[in-house]
Amino acid sequence: MTFNSVSFENSKFSKVDFTTVNMRHVDISKAMVKGIDFTSSDIEGLIGDIRDLHGIIVTPMQALSLSRILGIVIKE
């Protein structure tokens, strides 16, 4: 399933399954996504802020890509 350039702004999710979902450029601003597992989804370009990301479940690589939302600069 693909959600491309979709807004879930202010949405409330209950028992949602985003397994293997392409969620590129999806807006989760002010959505209730705490506890949702995105580990098997493509979330590159997810739109939101630090409050919107609180409690989501991601892989280490996804966390790295989400660092741009947090304004973190990663340097080797």
Residue-wise pLDDT tens digits, 1-46: 888 888 999 998 878 888 888 888 899 999 999 999 999 999 888 8
pLDDT for 40: 94
Count of structural domains within the chain: 1
Within the chain, how many helices (H) and strands (E) appear? 2, 0
Mean pLDDT of 54-76: 88
Q: CATH code at 66?
A: 2.160.20.80
Assess if residue 57 is contained within a domain.
Answer: yes
Assess if residue 28 is contained within a domain.
Answer: yes
Assess if residue 61 is contained within a domain.
Answer: yes
Helix (H, G, I), strand (E, B) or coil at 33: coil
* Residue 15 near residue 35 (C-beta atoms within 8 A): no
Alpha-carbon distance of 58 to 39, in angstroms, equals 5
**Which one of 37-41, 46-50, 51-55, 62-66 scores highest in mean pLDDT?**
37-41
**Host domain of residue 9:** 1-71
Alpha-carbon distance of 12 to 45, in angstroms, equals 21
pLDDT for 10: 92
pLDDT for 46: 86
Assess if residue 76 is contained within a domain.
Answer: no
